[in-house]
């Protein structure tokens, strides 16, 4: 069924490509832009309209979504040369679904308001599997009426869409969520290395641990991949390092102690130095393995 709102999508990476495909399947007209022409060609095969710039995407859209890696990428997509601001229509909305620092999101929102447009910050969690299955959890900040307007669009891509409050609260919630998730991931890595070094069967340990208080999404989903030596990314290690940097910066700005977050950021820095930033973020176990001089494979 055709939808009344026309949607734009800027950023067709490991997350953006399936997210835009869900919108097309739900009947939305979708204009797309990505720095990689081949990514736009894939989207066009699903019925999307490729554009020459984010500005052109915005000129064709009632709601424009940005899904790019970092804060500076959002700035470039929105306020850079040929950015969304150059083509935005009064009364339209930009939804930034990237994970960036809240201050940058609020700055972009103010620039959009000066053009007569609104902005929601709506970062996601769930990785590529969540994007492919339209089961992402989405944290949304911004005006409540704008949220209600855009809720049908967000629900196409997410299994859980949660309104967090005023602008910036979506980005803040995502960073806090990343702290929760990555501390669990580090726990899995340390436990697996200890268990294997002590002589435990890792498959048996992983199965047993999922039945108790140590159970977690990371253990159930990524534990078996670690044991099998499968480090294909659902969420890249380099992006987790970026998220830890943003979380630490936000904590400092709030005078909120985050010593564990800072330490985990250093561990991911070591992983980056090893040249495996494009692997899944569960590759962090390689840093623990190196320190322990032991592996954690079956």
DSSP line for 123-155: -EESHHHHHHHT-EEEEEES-HHHHHHHHHHHH
- Catalytic site includes residue 225: no
d(CA 298, CA 295): 9
DSSP line for 48-71: -EE-SSHHHHHHT-SEEEE--SSH
User: 232: buried, middle or exposed (CB in 10 Å: 19+, 13-18, 0-12)?
Assistant: exposed
Half-sphere exposure in the Cβ direction for 270 (13 Å, CA): 14
| Annotated catalytic residue, options 115, 174, 196, 286 | 174
Which residues are tagged catalytic? 174
């Amino acid at each position: 069924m055709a939808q009344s709102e026309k949607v734009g999508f800027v950023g067709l990476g490991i997350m953006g490509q399936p997210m835009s495909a869900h919108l097309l399947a739900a009947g939305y007209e979708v204009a797309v832009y990505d720095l990689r022409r081949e990514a736009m060609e894939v989207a066009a095969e699903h019925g999307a309209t490729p554009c020459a710039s984010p500005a052109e995407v915005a000129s064709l859209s009632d709601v424009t979504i940005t899904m790019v890696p970092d804060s500076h990428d959002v700035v470039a997509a929105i306020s850079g040369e040929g950015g969304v601001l150059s083509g935005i229509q009064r009364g339209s909305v930009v939804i930034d679904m990237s994970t960036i620092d809240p201050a940058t999101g609020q700055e972009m929102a103010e620039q959009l308001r000066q053009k007569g447009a609104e902005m929601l910050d709506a970062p996601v969690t769930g990785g590529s599997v969540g994007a492919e299955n339209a089961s992402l959890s989405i944290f949304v900040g911004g005006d409540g009426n704008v949220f209600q307007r855009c809720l049908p669009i967000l629900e196409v891509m997410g299994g859980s869409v949660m309104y967090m409050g005023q602008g910036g609260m979506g980005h803040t919630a995502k960073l806090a969520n990343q702290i929760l998730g990555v501390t669990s991931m580090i726990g899995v890595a340390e436990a697996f290395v200890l268990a294997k070094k002590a002589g435990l069967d890792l498959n048996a340990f992983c199965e047993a641990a999922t039945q108790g208080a140590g159970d977690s999404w990371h253990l159930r989903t990524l534990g078996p991949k670690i044991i099998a030596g499968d480090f294909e990314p659902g969420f890249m290690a380099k992006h987790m390092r970026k998220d830890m940097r943003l979380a630490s910066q936000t904590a400092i700005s709030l005078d909120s102690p985050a010593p564990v977050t800072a330490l985990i950021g250093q561990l991911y820095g070591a992983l980056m130095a090893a040249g495996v930033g494009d692997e899944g973020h569960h590759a962090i176990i390689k840093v623990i393995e190196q320190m322990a001089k032991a592996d954690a494979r079956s």
